[in-house]
Chains A and B, each alone.
Chain A
Amino acid sequence: MSEKHEASGDQTTGHVWDDDLADLTNEPPKWWMLGLTASALFVVIYWLYYPSIPFATTGDFFKGIGGWTAIKEMEADVGEVEAVRGKFEARLRGMTPAAILADSELTEYVTRSGKVLFGDNCAACHGQNGIGTHDKEGLFAPILNDDDWLYGGKIDDIHASIEGGRQGMMMAHKDMLSAAEIDALANAVAKGQPTSTPLFAEKGCTACHGEDGKGNQAMGSANLADKIWRFEVRNDKLSDAENMKRLVEGSKRTITYGVNSGDPQGRAAAMPSFKEAGKLSDTEMKKLAVYVYKFGGGQPDAPAAAADTKTDK
């Protein structure tokens, strides 16, 4: 097999082509052989360590001496996350929402980690970051990052809303008021000046919405004297006249058919009780309360600095 190359005298494999071309039989470099050996060893070790034989006989298969599974790896990763969160979660368990809010470190933890919780359970109706969702009839669920709260914006109010859910209620007035009366009231409400028409007191609106039209958080009646509307939201792309028209129409509809009144054209405004649903743990509901509070609209329990008080409440 082996021959000497005619010119160089080096050993060849004996295969000569194109007259005088041949393969020399020089040894590969040492580093190359070392690399090749190391690769071969690696293949064997890898093969044995991981489940590598793609056959399963009688339901059993070669699991590898390392015992690696994708599930175990995932569980280890989850364990890593839990280890970081665990110490916070343990503290949260025994605390009231207000106490959590008072602890800046825990509040920070909740606002950082609550995004998924909120996204999974709340954002479907309230929108990502609480910006509200809309259907063709207007605002479907309230915006959570403004300072207007139907049932109160204190931390315990928010927590109570999540735990117990909320059912809006307003009767349909289509049989009690004339079209002209409804029109007058709707225009006053749309302007944010419900008391500008005497009808507001005469027709008993004050019973729920208060004499000044600022609503009653105990029963969830809306504040009609501010610039936030429950079922309508300003569209910055429209002119003010168009916006006003939408507000008037919306208010008319709410007054005529009511909220959760049983009337097929009435407004629907219901939030489920998350405690009854059993889907969330107590800690999770507390976290959500703090998370929602920190959107920017939460109202402190004690009278705070001037900058923090809501002047129109």
Chain B
Amino acid sequence: MSKETEHKEAGSVTGIYQELEHWNVNTGDKTIHAKRMPGFFRTVKNYTQALYLLFFLVPYLRWNGKQAILFDITHNQFHFFNLTVLPQDIWMLSLLLLLLAMVLFAVTSVASRVWCGYFCFQTAWTDWFTWIEDKIEGNPQARRKLDAAPWSAEKIWKKSLKHFIWMIISLLTGISFSIWFVDAYDYWNKLVHFQLPLVGWVTLATIFFGTYILAALLREQVCMWMCPYARIQGVMTDSQTILPAYDYTRGEPRGKLRRGSEVVAQKGDCVDCFQCVQVCPTGVDIRDGQQLGCITCGLCLDACDSIMDKVGKPRGLIRYTSLDELEGKPARKMYQHPRTWVYIGIILIAFGGIVYGLTHLGSVVLKVIPERQPLYVYLSDGSIQNKYELKILNKTDSDIRVGVTAEGGVRDQVIIGAEKPLLARHGRSTSFTIFVRAPGQNIKMEVTPIEFRIQSIDDPLIGAEYKTKFNGPSVDLGRRIISGMGNAK
């Protein structure tokens, strides 16, 4: 092999390093100072992010003297206005999570990372934090200058004020998070008197530091390096998905606009003004194509449109479009996007399940656990007794008295221990021990099905059933023994 070819081959390997210059990789060594520009997507983002005001305010909402929405962990209950969901119904939560995940998937497959760009708390908090930074330290140029400047009284004052306000917001975030789980007013009372339980302080500190570190210090690096959703969402888009994209056919070859330029005709519409990069909160260049760092917030669309207006070219050099459309392929119809329909199907199933669950919550739930050691007991008159533990879960707001009956089982059986109505405490499960006694000669099977039924004494609509077993001696032997031994007494 000649030296020349060797060098050529080595060169083809090292060639990948040449690309380094074109990788606009955010390695986290520089702080991104994004410019804030008004525009349509800026407005949309402001509104969607304002939804997080609910996060701060809803816990103070009262309903019938109690917190309207409360994930009451201490008492294992979830309150939603009139509705109380107990841990037994928590399967609906998993359906809700499935539903939300599928909505995320479906939206992503149609319109890419809508969540990241407009709704994600990381994006929202970072946006607010940088807005504060912008107000205190000035525009991006001023900020970079201040960062590079030596420490002075002004720099210390500006930086301290900024971090102080950030910490206040982080603290409020921690408090607002906490009061979804405990009574809001009670929490504030305990907080100002420094009487929170340890778990309360730990939660507050976790969210406080979490917010401060993630939104104030790490910002877009969370999206680039830490967030798993960013990567999952990225692979859920395809060539049909609409996303903010640079129309390279129209824009290239890009070139700086010059006064009295003589070669205007050769150039594309992109004037290489870098405004799209300037406004990007994650510091990526959308003109490099679809990339991990792009949270599809649309701010570069606003920036580019404003420039296009100024240079007198049509808007939409950067626009929401699909890769197919950019390549001039015919746009497929919605129904030709089967993946989205699968997502929608799963959404409907999950939604149906939740609706079913909420409409079939029931007032009481009965569970009957037969004693296993021993399965049955011989009594002195030759009858057989089974022991059962009745667990009555009363989901209503008041204690209820229930009567116990049994269907099936053994002829002439007697229920012992439920002669008087049982008092099922509200909001929890109450256990009772009852016995069923049956004459030995009537037992025809080793295992006889029996169904217990509880019925509220006061409200005929409240009741529940549970199917279980009555255990006896094995069929033939047991019966012979009982009849053979002293039946003639």
Interface residues of A (CB under 8 A from B): 5-8, 10, 19-20, 26-32, 34, 108, 111, 128-129, 131, 143, 145-148, 190-193, 223, 225-228, 234, 236-241, 243-244, 247, 294-297, 305, 307-308, 310-313
- Cβ 8 A contact of B27, one of A26, A190, A243, A311: A26
B28 within 8 A of A: yes
A117 to chain B: closest CB distance in Å? 17
Q: Which chain B residues lie closer than 8 Å to A8 at the CB level?
A: 17-18, 20-21
- Chain B residue at minimal CB-CB distance from A223: B380
Extra contacts besides A19-B10, A34-B213, A143-B377 (15): CB < 8 Å: A6-B14, A8-B17, A28-B28, A31-B221, A31-B226, A131-B374, A147-B380, A191-B485, A192-B489, A227-B486, A228-B380, A234-B481, A244-B484, A296-B387, A308-B416
Asked whether B17 lies within 8 Å of A7 as measured between CB atoms, the reply is yes
Stretch at the interface among B255-263, B360-368, B470-478: B470-478
CB pairs A–B below 8 angstroms (28 shown): A7-B14, A8-B21, A27-B27, A27-B29, A30-B28, A30-B221, A31-B225, A128-B373, A129-B373, A131-B373, A146-B377, A146-B379, A146-B385, A147-B379, A190-B485, A192-B486, A225-B489, A227-B378, A227-B380, A240-B477, A240-B481, A240-B485, A243-B485, A296-B385, A308-B419, A310-B380, A312-B381, A313-B380
- Is B431 interfacial (CB-CB < 8 Å)? yes
Closest to B14 in A: A7
- With A27-B29, A29-B27, A146-B378 known to touch, is A111 a contact of B486 (CB < 8 Å)? no
> Which residues of chain A have C-beta atoms less than 8 A from B10's C-beta?
19-20
Closest beta carbon of chain A to B19's beta carbon, Å: 9
B387 / chain A contacts, CB cutoff of 8 Å:
145, 295-296
Contacts of A228 in B (CB 8 A): 378-380
Q: Which residue of A lies closest to B218 (CB)?
A: A31
Give the complex CA separation of A237 and B480 in angstroms. 12
B90 part of interface (Cβ distance < 8 Å): no
Complex contact B28–A31 (CB within 8 A): yes
> Is there contact, CB below 8 Å, between A29 and B28?
yes
A236 lies within 8 A of B213 (CB): no
Interface residues of B, CB < 8 Å — how many?
A: 48
Instruction: Say yes or no: is B421 at the interface (Cβ < 8 Å to chain A).
Output: no
Q: Are A243 and B416 in contact (CB under 8 A)?
A: no
Q: List the 9 closest A-B pairs by CB distance, nearest first.
A: A192-B486, A29-B28, A226-B380, A7-B17, A240-B484, A8-B17, A148-B380, A7-B14, A240-B481
- Nearest neighbor of B434 in chain A, beta-carbon distance: A296
Chain A hits for B199, CB < 8 A: none
Residue B435 interfacial (CB < 8 Å): yes
- By a CB distance below 8 angstroms, the chain B residues around A227 are 378-382, 485-486
Chain A CB within 8 A of B321 CB:
no
Interchain CA distance A310-B27 in the complex, whole Å: 84
- CA of A145 to CA of B382, assembled, Å: 14
- For the complex, is B222 an interface residue (Cβ under 8 Å from A)? yes
Q: A129-B374, A311-B381, A312-B380 are in contact. Are A31 and B222 (CB under 8 A)?
A: yes
B179 to chain A, nearest CB (A): 26
B interface, by DSSP: helix, strand, loop or mixed?
mixed
What is the CB-to-nearest-CB distance from A292 to chain B, in angstroms, rounded to a whole number?
13
**B334 near A: Cβ within 8 Å?**
no
A30 to B32 CA separation, bound complex (whole angstroms): 12
Most A CB contacts (10 A, CB to CB) among B218, B415, B481 go to B481
Report the bound CA distance from A238 to B481 in whole Å: 9
What is the bound-complex CA distance between A190 and B481, given in angstroms? Answer: 12
Docked-complex contact B225 and A29, CB < 8 angstroms: yes
The residues of B that contact A191 with a CB separation of less than 8 Å are 485-486, 488
Contact B29 A26 (CB under 8 A): yes
Interface of chain B residues 390 through 440 with chain A (CB within 8 A): 414-416, 419, 431, 433, 435
**Separation of A237 and B431 alpha carbons in the complex (Å):** 34
Nearest-neighbour CB distance to chain A for B101, whole angstroms, equals 26
Q: Does chain A have a CB within 8 A of B253? A: no
Cβ contacts under 8 Å, A143 to chain B: 377
| B377 in contact with A307 (CB, 8 Å) | no
- What residue of chain A has the Cβ atom nearest to residue B435's Cβ? A296
Q: A238 — which chain B residues lie within 8 A by C-beta?
A: 477
Q: Which of A28, A146, A236 contacts B478 (CB 8 A)?
A: A236
**Which residues of A sit under 8 angstroms from B147, Cβ to Cβ?**
none
In the assembled complex, how far is the CB of residue B441 from the closest CB belonging to chain A, in whole angstroms?
12
Q: Closest Cβ of chain A: how far from B181's Cβ, in Å? A: 21
For the complex, is B15 an interface residue (Cβ under 8 Å from A)?
A: yes
Per the bound structure, the CA–CA distance linking A247 and B473 in Å amounts to 18
Task: Give Cα distance in the complex from A247 to B484, angstroms.
Answer: 12
Contacting residues, chain A, for B28 (C-beta < 8 A): 27-32
In the bound complex, do residue A146 and residue B380 qualify as a contact, i.e. CB atoms below 8 Å apart?
yes
Contact present for B221 and A29 (CB under 8 Å) = yes
Which A residue's beta carbon lies closest to that of B389? Answer: A111
Check A7 against B414 for contact (C-beta < 8 Å): no
CA distance A172 to B196 in the complex (A): 74
B327 located at the interface, meaning its Cβ lies under 8 Å from any Cβ of chain A in the complex: no
Residues of A contacting B371 with CB < 8 Å? 129
B377 to chain A minimum Cβ distance, whole angstroms, is 5
Q: Would A307 and B419 be within 8 Å (CB), given that A111-B433, A147-B379, A239-B480 are in contact?
A: yes
Contacts of B378 in A (CB 8 A): 146, 227-228, 234
B473 surroundings in chain A (CB, below 8 A): 236
Q: Is B217 an interface residue (CB 8 A)?
A: yes
| Nearest chain B residue, comparing its CB with the CB of A7 | B17
Shortest beta-carbon distance from B301 to chain A in Å = 28
CB–CB A34/B484 < 8 A: no
Given the complex, which residues of A lie within 8 Å of B381, measured CB to CB? Answer: 226-227, 310-312
Q: Which chain A positions have C-beta within 8 A of B218?
A: 30-31, 34
Question: Are the CB atoms of A108 and B380 closer together than 8 Å?
Answer: no
Residues of A close to B14: CB separation below 8 A: 6-7, 20
Provide the residues of chain A in CB contact with B484, threshold 8 Å.
240-241, 243-244
Min CB distance, B403 to chain A, in Å?
Answer: 14
Q: Which of A111, A225, A239, A297 contacts B477 (CB 8 A)?
A: A239
8 A Cβ contacts from B211-252 to A: 213, 217-218, 221-222, 225-226
| B433 CB contacts on chain A under 8 angstroms | 111, 294
Would you call A193 and B377 a contact (CB within 8 A)? no
- A interface footprint on B183-214 (CB within 8 Å = 1, 0 otherwise): 00000000000000000000000000000010
- CB contacts under 8 Å to A, within B4-39, are 10, 13-15, 17-18, 20-21, 27-29
The residue in B381, B387, B478 that gathers the most chain A C-beta atoms within 10 A of its C-beta is B381
Bound form: Cα–Cα A241–B481 in Å = 8
Would B377 and A296 count as touching, CB distance under 8 A?
yes
Q: How far is the CA of A31 from the CA of B220 in the complex (A)?
A: 11
> Which residues of B sit under 8 angstroms from A146, Cβ to Cβ?
377-380, 385
In the bound assembly, the distance between CA atoms of A146 and B380 in angstroms comes to: 8
Q: Whole-angstrom distance from the CB of B217 to the nearest CB of chain A?
A: 7
Whether A307 lies near B17 (C-beta < 8 A) is: no
- In the complex, which residues of chain B have a beta carbon less than 8 angstroms from the beta carbon of A295? 387
Q: Give Cα distance in the complex from A198 to B309, angstroms.
A: 123
Q: How distant is A184 from chain B, measured CB to nearest CB, in Å?
A: 16
In the bound complex, CA of A311 to CA of B383 (Å): 11
Docked CA distance A28–B28 (Å): 8
Asked if B474 and A236 sit within 8 Å, CB to CB, the answer is: yes
Q: Name the CB-closest residue of B to A310.
A: B380
